[in-house]
Structure 1
């Protein structure tokens, strides 16, 4: 990210180049990273951990939806469109690209597979 920021500040990458790199990351690099992360031996404990993560993730999302509905109500955010955006963005994050290397360094391939599966 720092390299991309520096190149954009120096004018090496313009808006069109940035859009092209985003498309490349979204349609080529990310699917390849997902497929690469599944290249390991299957263990029965992985299935158990996956199911536990599904339950935890479901609970976190339900909790986030309830809290965001209470916080971003008509009284505090009267505009419908703004309220919907605030509720959605507080429930569903976009931490995928930056989180993968960190996840793999902390927990190895198994954590990355669990995260990509959810």
Structure 2
């Protein structure tokens, strides 16, 4: 998972998460759920980018609105620590619903190899 202690890119997040766990144990479940959710979001973007050219790949994800209260707290935590940034844009997909767009922090995308090149090493 991206929040692991040994990951220096996420030291500020780890400090915030551990601080909340100690000070307000009620948030521990939100933090654990958040880890799983964030990994899922990154994997969805990685899957979307898999067969796309570099110029067509995404660094954003759409999250269906309205959010349940508990999920809204987790998303708010992501925004607070800076790993998920709202684009300020909503997209209406008709029957599928309305989606709020968020940009995932580039360090997380790079760490998980989300931005994939279709070129082979010999193409450089």
Between structure 1 and structure 2, the one with the greater Rg is 1
TM-score (norm 1): 0.34
**Between Structure 1 and Structure 2, which shows a larger proportion of strand residues?**
2
Give TM-score, length-normalised by structure 2: 0.33
Task: Give the structure with the higher percent helix.
Answer: 1
